[in-house]
Structure formats: C-alpha cells, structure tokens
A and B are shown apart, each in its own frame.
Chain A
C-alpha cells in the first residue's frame, strides 16, 4: 500500500497493479465470500439487507473488531496475544468496581480502566519484548492470570450494573436514529491502525520484525521497544473494548469477553495475516471480521442452527489459509535457495490437491446449507406469509414464536425445548429455538436483535442478565412484538408476562427444607454450584442462607464451583468429602453437577453421605434408585417449555390479556395468572417413590 514511501519487503521493481497493492494477500477472496454471504442471506430472509440490520451487524462487531485490530500488528511481528479476552474481563470488572464501590465518576473510572488495560499490556510486553519469552506461553499465563484476578476481585458474584443512561447511550443508543455511537470508535481505531501499519515508518519496522527479528535488530530497529509498545497497545484496545462492552451490555462481570481472543485471532488470520509474521493488512482483518460476523448474523436471521457457524468458520479458515499459497508459510524456507524450482513445483501440486479438497468440502457444505434453505423457503411458501407482517393477526395464521434458552447445550433447556416443540405442534405454530452455546448475556442480545429484524410474532427469553437484555426487549415491544420472559425474569416493563416456574426464593427455601429433612435438622453440608459467576445459583444461595436461620443446627461449610462440568463436580465433591469429613450432605445446584457429586459419593463408599440438589430426573434416576441421591428439586421442565409457547400463542392471538386471572393452556388445563406472572406451580420434589413417572 505504501510503495511510494518505502519499499515493501517483497521489493517490487515497478509499481504493482492496484489489486495487488490493495489486496497483497489475496483478501479479494474474502470479498467474494462476503458477497456470497450477502446474496444467500439476502435471498433467504427479507430483513437481512436492510439498513437497520447493517448497523446492527456493525454494532455487534465493535468489541471483537477492536481486539482484532490490536492483534493484527502483534501477529504481523510473529507474536500472538491470547490474553485480550481476559484483559477485557478484568478491565470491565475494574470499571464497575471503580464506579460503584470507589464512587469515582464514570468518565474518570473509564480513564483509569484504560490505564489498567495499558498495565495488562505492559506485563505482556515486558515479558515478551523485554525478556524475549515466547508470546504464546506468556499470554497463555496472563490469559489465566487476568481472568483469575477478575474472579478473585469480584468473588465471582459481583455484577456491576445500573449505569447511567448517558453512558449506556454510548453502547446502546443511536446517533441520528440509525448510527450506533461505538461504530465511530471502531472506525477511528481502524483508520489509525491502518495509517500506522501501512503509512508510517513505524509500521514498516513491524513487518521487518515479523520477517526476521534478528535481521531487524542488526538493521538498527529497537525490536524490544517496538514489541513492548504493540503489546501495550493491545492492552489499551482490550480496555477500550471493555468500556464499550459494559456500555453495550449494561453490566460488568468477571466472565466478560470469554472466548473473544479466539474469534479475534480467527478474524485476523482469515484476513490474510501469516501466523509466522511479516504479512497482514488492516483491510484484511476488517474483511475477515465481517465475514465471521455476517455469517453469524445471517444464519440467525435465517433461523438456521447456530452450531453451523463453527463448522463453516473452521472450513473457511482452512480454505483461506490454503488460498494464500503454501510457499509462504515457512519463512525459513526462503533462506535455502539451492533447489527452489523443484520444491516450488512439488508444493504447488500439493496446493492444487488441497484447494480441490477444500473446495469439495465447501461445495458439500454449501449444498447442505442450500438444502436447508430451500426446505425452509418451501415451508414458508406453504404456510403463506412467513411471519413478516405481524399486523394481520388473524387466528388462522401460523405464528412464528422465537424462544431462547440461557444455554443451548444444557440438558435442562433441552428438556424445555421438547415441551415447547410439543406445544408448537399442537398449535400449528412455527418455533425458532436459538440461543448462546454457553451462558453469555452479550450473545443473547445479538439473537434478540436478529429476531426483531426478522419480525417474529413473539419472543420468549430465559434471561441471563436483566439489565443487559431489557433494552433490546423494550425495542422489540416498540416494534409490536409480544415479549415473554420465562425461566428467569427481565425488567417488568421490558416484557408482557413472565412465565414463573418457581421463584428463587421458592427454590432456595425448598432446597434448604429438603436438606433439613434429610439431616434431621442438624449437621454439616456443602454446596457444589455451577460457576462462581452464575447469577441464578448465586440468587438461590442467597435464599438458602436466609432460610438457614430457621435451622440453627444446619451448617453450610463450603461452596465449590463445578463450571457446569460433570467431571469437575466429581473431583470437587471428592475433595469436600475428604477435607470436611463431617459433611453428611452434598447439595449440588446445577443440573450436571448432581450426577457428578453422586458418582463421587458412591465411589467413596460413604453410605452416610447423601446428595440432594437441583437437576433433571433422567440424569439422576440410577442414583436415586440406588439411594445415593435422596431427592432432587425441580419443576416439570417439559411443562415449562410447553406453557411458555402456549402463553406466547395466547398472547398474540388475544386469548391472554393483561388483567386476566387465568387462561387455558392446552394439556395443562387452566393456569393461574397473578398480575403479570403466569404461574407453573410450586417446585416439585422427586424421590425414589415418584421418579419413575417422569421422563425428561
């Protein structure tokens, strides 16, 4: 790009043609991919190619974009920074703590947060640049360290929210009705990074370092200082992204930005940067970023499974790298010039083989997705208007009801989905079931945004974080979409009804009462929770502790995390049994943790220890039957999904209005409505005597 000011490392003798200068690494391929995505998704959903959706996509990409921009120079120098996502989490928490606990005004807290980010970057920079340590390992260490500090500072529980409207406008509002404010930040960041990398001598030295750090040093480039500087810049970008993230999501929690580092790296590599250094452009990074973000958004608008994104991303990644030509991957090969001709020829054969292989895979996948598309289009045609005009709410129309769990893979929500599908079948409605793969409030926002654009009839959300999602739910209501919260509530003004399966208070109290019953009112017990940051579980624990005042002889000795992982719950339970031998009851309050805890108790041979908690009957059936698990507490999750869809349908068709005290919900019969809450009933205690009646 800067052939006039300084020679490119390839040292061309005459100016290159425009397309070579603009796309030195074959980034045009990404333009083609992007165009294909736009055409396909534009055909599938009416709402994809709209100006609102365009800005929505851009808004969602800002945090990731900042991280990807920061990673570009680092990867160009041949390094990598895995800690950007963790630094984002740490900075978000610091921002929240400074603002709420230290009572510092938000603007000052933001500035201090940016300084903390620079500090994070400085540690990486000092170790990588100063001490010349491998960046992969250093940042793997700080990846763990920053996230750990964030969790330690907040005890995992603290969730800072309730930021002022002016601050939230920065992340959620619109300038002149369409333009999200944070887009300006991304634009400025992209332009300045591009200027530094492609127009300044400083940028050229980064490429030089990427080609050969040793050579650059001999050429008089202060390699260490340069490296230190770009890592500090990456820390700064992480903290900037953290401030935007907090304004966007409306909350600051220690799990902010989990997994962002890999997506950002994927974007940079898609954009043609070589992981060995010396190659990459800002334009490529931006294109790579949007190839990813548009893919996610488009699949969502087309109501195709979100897991598809991962598979397609993987293939795209391999295909792009293949396109860049095999010769360039190993810079050291350049040095050996004895037999270049033969080698190049040999490798080119491989290149052809790979390209054809990858193309074949791509073709298969495209064919597969086309099949899905055609099928969904045909379905839409068959049933007339495919949910685009929510104005004509005639009773005979097939409704589109969108329902979101907190996490898609969670067995708890899978059993809810079954009930929801059953209701949708009975009512003849279209059910879209989509949500984040893991607990992730930011993802939930994205999905709802996509549904608003898609103009579904009703949205039902199991809310991970109230403040985070309520703004977007209000927006949905403004557009005339009926909104329900189920499983976990949103702000009361952000939804029409809440399908209440059981209050946190009810769950906490029932669990404690069960514990007291099993232990005969006195003894020690331990809690195995989900992750230490899980909002629901922390709420339950609060009420468990409250109820414990009633049972003075019951003692809660420790709370250990299981991260929603069965094996982790197993190991933690083993530890608890050994460290606290007086514990006679393990209370596991996450669905996968209960079988884990039960297996640990069973293998320890301790017949005197019992397990209780909150889980699914099918998962625990064998343990309940052999007596390891005394009882589990839960509502009928199947019915919960069923009731939610019934309520959504009734709401859209006018069978359910505000002020009603009951409504008919299919096979569940008459359901009580209290104010704006639809009541499923009390939590249910499953034990040996009744477990066989349930299958979910």
Chain B
C-alpha cells in the first residue's frame, strides 16, 4: 500500500523517471562504458550548474510565471564575477557576491512582474535581449582572461573543486525539496501557483511570493554562474546561450506544470538528468550528433503528451489525489 501511495503521489514525475530508466537500460546494453565512474563524475559536474538553474526555474514556474532571461543573467554574472576576481576580491567572498549580483538582477525581473504587474514572459523577454546585448556592447565579445591563480576550483585541487560543486548542487536540491514540501513558505508557492486569488484570501501575499521566486531564481543563477566559471581558467562572454530553454525544458519534462501549482524539484532533477545526459549518451551510443536537437524535441513532446495522458487517466479512474491543483 505504501508503494502505491508513493506511486500515486509522484505520478507527474513518473513518465520522466521511466524515460530516464529506459535510457539507462539502453545504454547498459549498447554502451556499458557510459557507467564508468569517471564519466558519471564528469556528467555530474557538467550538469550541476544547469541543475541549480533548473531548481530556481522550478520555483518560478510553480508560481505560474516564467523566466526566459536566465541565460543572459548567467552570462552577465559570469563576466562580472571574472572582473571582480581580477580586481582582487578574495575568492571566499565570491559566492556571496555571486548570490548578490544574481539576486539584484532577479529582483529587477521580480519587481516588474510582481509589483508592477507586467506579464513575466514579456518582462523576461525584454531583459533577455537587453542584458545579452548590453553585455556584448560593454565587453565587445572579449573574454575575461588572466584570472588569479586561486580562481580555478576555488584554489582547491581539481578533485576537491569538483566535489564541492556537486555537493553544492545536492545540498540545494535537498533543501528545496524539504522547503517546498514541508515548510509554509514552500506550500505558499504551490498555493499561489494554483490559485492566486484564493491564496490571497487565505492570507498569503501572492506578490511577495512571486517577487521572492524571481529573486531566488536570480541568486541561484549567479551561484550557478560561479560554479561553472571556477571549472575553467578563462570566462567567455557568450556563456549561457540557450540555458533558459534547457532549464525550462528540463523542468517541464520533469513533470512541473507550466500553468503553475504542480510538480516537484525531484521531477526537475530527473528532467535535468534526462536531457543533460542525452547528448553524452548519443556519443556513447555512436549516434550521429546531427540528430541531437530532433531527439531532444521529441523527448519534450513525449513528456507533454504523457502528462496529458496521465491527467486523462486521472479523470477516468478517480484515484485519491492529495495534491490536485486547479486546471
């Protein structure tokens, strides 16, 4: 019964988990080398920044909004951090600086969406264009080079730095999972996403929640930018192109409803894992990289389709769903 209950509760994540399982199974049969420890660690380190951004995106989408400016924010934060590191800001202060820069940029989005009341897709479309082109204007495309010696891996060894990055992502994942499920702040996010008016009447301030979700999104993007930047010794100014689509796709594939109010960070984790490893999987399976985009598109469509199929099933079977949101 317990198992059934868990299955029941996580039905939104199920299609993605199954798909991920099939992918792993196929790899185990066709290219067992994929499960080499070194490869798994590389995959973890490479996708950790995307996962952190996807966590933020989960919150934003749960409140029923969307943020398509994260890729541009990511680039702005990376370059700004590089400049600050070169200007002599000590390395142990950088994480705080990264969070702060990201939070400020996120607050711009949040203010326009939550306080002024503009549609988030338009606001973030505008900031997406403006930040990216503004950055190009200022840097003229130049990379940040000659970073201080202690910048790469925070001055630790490579192994240590990698562990730190993955650890960061894992701690954030667990924290978000707990907060969203068990704390009132997390529940408020779902409430706002399900029905804004009802949550207002229930004593939640929807605008603060939405504003907060954008600030959080920005802060996480800043942190992800830092964790990505420390893996290298230079910082290109064109980082993060397409990151917004990657994150949104991962979150939605993981079963988070685009209309808000439904989904979990565990789903986002599996979505990121599925889309993040599909590229590597193609190389290991010896499939031509030309088809990568087509396959990712097909994964997204299948996920949406599965979502629709599940909700249709839900209508017919009348199971007990503790967390059904508004349509």
Contact = CB atoms under 8 A, between A and B. Distances in A.
B280 A137 contact: no
B283 A572 contact: yes
Interface in A126-166: 127, 131-134, 136-138, 140-149, 151-152, 155-156
Contacts of A578: 33, 36, 38-39, 42, 284
A11 interface: no
B308 A141 contact: no
A599 interface: yes
B252 A148 contact: no
Contacts of A156: 290
A571 interface: yes
Given A313-B129, A619-B234, A133 B304 contact: yes
Contacts, number: 225
A676 interface: no
Interface stretch (A195-203, A237-245, A303-311, A395-403): A303-311
B184 interface: no
A556 interface: no
Interface in A415-442: 437
Interface stretch (B12-20, B81-89, B141-149, B213-221): B141-149
B129 A314 contact: yes
Contacts of A413: 141
A558 B289 CA distance: 10
Given A151-B291, A317-B129, 7 more contacts: A137-B304, A143-B245, A148-B296, A275-B122, A310-B130, A311-B130, A575-B280
Nearest to A533: B290
Nearest to B68: A262
- In order of increasing CB-CB distance, the 4 nearest A-B pairs are A310-B133, A148-B294, A145-B297, A314-B130
A330 B259 contact: no
B233 A622 contact: yes
B232 to A, nearest CB: 6
Contacts of A603: 158
B149 to A, nearest CB: 11
A663 interface: no
Interface of A: 80, 127, 131-134, 136-138, 140-149, 151-152, 155-156, 262, 265-266, 269, 274-276, 305, 307-311, 313-315, 317-318, 321-322, 326, 329-330, 332, 336, 347, 350, 353-354, 408-411, 413-414, 437, 532, 558, 560-561, 564-567, 570-572, 574-576, 578-579, 592, 595, 599, 603-604, 618-619, 622
Given A142-B297, A311-B133, A317 B122 contact: yes
Interface in B49-84: 66
Contacts of B119: 274-276, 321, 329
A329 B117 contact: yes
Interface stretch (B164-172, B235-243, B314-322): B235-243
Contacts of B133: 307-311, 314, 437
A128 to B, nearest CB: 10
A424 B172 CA distance: 53
Contact of A144 (B36, B197, B293, B305): B293
A564 B119 CA distance: 33
Contacts of A80: 121
B305 A266 contact: no
A322 B300 contact: no
Contacts of A307: 133-134, 136-137
Nearest to B145: A618
B248 interface: yes
B301 A314 contact: no
Contacts of B290: 151-152, 155-156, 532
Given A140-B249, A145-B298, A310-B129, A347 B241 contact: no
B118 interface: yes
B140 A409 contact: yes
B199 interface: no
Contacts of A350: 115-117
Contacts of A572: 283
7 contacts: A262-B125, A266-B129, A310-B136, A311-B133, A314-B127, A332-B196, A592-B238
B137 A266 contact: no
A215 to B, nearest CB: 14
Contacts of A330: 117
A336 B228 CA distance: 46
B310 interface: no
Interface in B268-326: 279-280, 283-284, 286, 288-298, 300-301, 304-305, 307-308
B245 A409 contact: no
B130 A313 contact: yes
B112 interface: yes
Contacts of A140: 245, 248-249, 252, 300
A566 B46 CA distance: 13
B25 interface: no
Given A131-B308, A318-B123, A410 B232 contact: no
A567 B300 CA distance: 23
Nearest to A408: B141
A586 to B, nearest CB: 14
A134 B132 contact: no
B126 interface: yes
B136 A134 contact: no
Nearest to B241: A565
Contacts of A311: 129-130, 133-134, 137
Nearest to B134: A311
A558 B31 CA distance: 16
B258 interface: yes
B294 A305 contact: no
